[in-house]
Structure 1
Amino acid sequence: MPRTQRNDNFIDKSFTVMADIILKILPTNQKSKEAFAYYRDGMSAQADGEYAEALENYHEALKLEDEAGDRCYILYNIGLIHASNGDHEKALGYYHDAIELNPNMPQALNNIAVIYHYQGDQAQEAGNSDLAESFYDRAAEYWKQAIRITPNNYIEAQNWLKTTGRSEMDVFF
């Protein structure tokens, strides 16, 4: 039984019913519909903290999904799981794959910046200021891209860019 059919709360059941209706009426092929079902089950498992199950579903969805716009969200979610598990290098790979398909995906750009900033903090704590500055510069570049796409978001990043002198823009929003 698909994961989404096991949901026992009203909101999850409502979402599942609506998603099933949309899936039935969408003018798309069966392969895309199956990909969406795997993606939906992956999101459900991810929300429950069942990361291994979510990854299995996302990878199945990737095998079936041909549309770049949909693939980028699958890749992004896989990146989220790897980041939450502390595997930042793997997460970066998936985020980069996502923005390769959709360069205007600010959430992936932001998450890349967050990882680079974290790596900068780690390098700073280890006493390697040059490496830390390199990571911070990378973080700044990705945050600037995300902010250009969604100027009213990432306020903390905007403040960090201003206070560290890494911003060429006076006002982001």
Structure 2
Amino acid sequence: MPRTQRNDNFIDKSFTVMADIILKILPTDKKAKEAFAYYRDGMSAQADGEYAEALDNYREALTLEEDPYDRSYILYNMGLIYASNGELEQALEYYYEAIELNPRIPQALNNIAVIFHYQGERAKEAGDMDSAEALYDKAAEYWKQAISMAPNNYIEAQNWLKTTGRSTIDVFF
């Protein structure tokens, strides 16, 4: 049974009904509609913590979806799953792929920065200050890119950049 037929809560059911209506009236080809259905099922499974099922749906959506912009969000969501499972290198690969297809996806840039910052913290705890500083610098570069695209979204990152001396530009609007 497709995931969209198993949703128990009202919001999920409402979203599914609306998505089905939109799919029926959109003037797109069958392949694009099918890709969206897999993407939608993947998002639903991901929201329920069913990561293996979500990845299966996202992989199927990738085989069908041709639009680079839409593919970037599928890849981004796959990166989220790998990051939440602690598979940071795999997550980075998906985030990089998403950015390659859609350079204007600040949330992927932010998540890359978060991973580098986390790795910097681990290096610092291990006493490897040179590696920590290099990882912090990488995080700073990705955060600067994300902030330039979405200046009001990453306030904590902006504060970290300022307090660590990695940015002197005040981008608050």
TM-score w.r.t. length of structure 2: 0.98
Q: Distance in 1 between matches of 2:79 and 2:9?
A: 27
2:113 maps to amino acid: A
Q: Which residue of 2 aligns with 1:74?
A: 74
Q: Which residue of 1 aligns with 2:132?
A: 132
- Deviation of 1:153 (Å): 1.1
Indicate if the aligned counterparts of 1:148 and 1:172 stay in contact, CA closer than 8 A.
no
Extract unaligned runs of 5+ from structure 1.
none
Q: Distance in 2 between matches of 1:68 and 1:171?
A: 30
Q: Distance in 2 between matches of 1:171 and 1:12?
A: 37
1:94 maps to amino acid: Y
Q: Which residue of 1 aligns with 2:33?
A: 33
Q: Which residue of 2 aligns with 1:63?
A: 63
RMSD: 0.8
Q: Which residue of 2 aligns with 1:8?
A: 8
Q: Percent identity?
A: 79
Q: Distance in 2 between matches of 1:153 and 1:170?
A: 14
- Deviation of 1:54 (Å): 0.3
3-state SS of 1:104 partner: coil
Deviations 1:76-102 (A, max 9, x none): 000000000000000000001001111
What aligned pairs does 1:92-171 form with structure 2 within 5 A after superposition? 92-171=92-171
Q: Which residue of 2 aligns with 1:18?
A: 18
What aligned pairs does 1:48-59 form with structure 2 within 5 A after superposition? 48-59=48-59
Deviations 1:41-96 (A, max 9, x none): 00010000000000000000000000011000000000000000000000000001
- Deviation of 1:24 (Å): 0.6
- Deviation of 1:2 (Å): 1.1
Aligned residues: 173
- Deviation of 1:104 (Å): 0.9
- Deviation of 1:8 (Å): 1.3
Indicate if the aligned counterparts of 1:140 and 1:166 stay in contact, CA closer than 8 A.
yes
2:82 maps to amino acid: H
Q: Distance in 2 between matches of 1:57 and 1:153?
A: 29
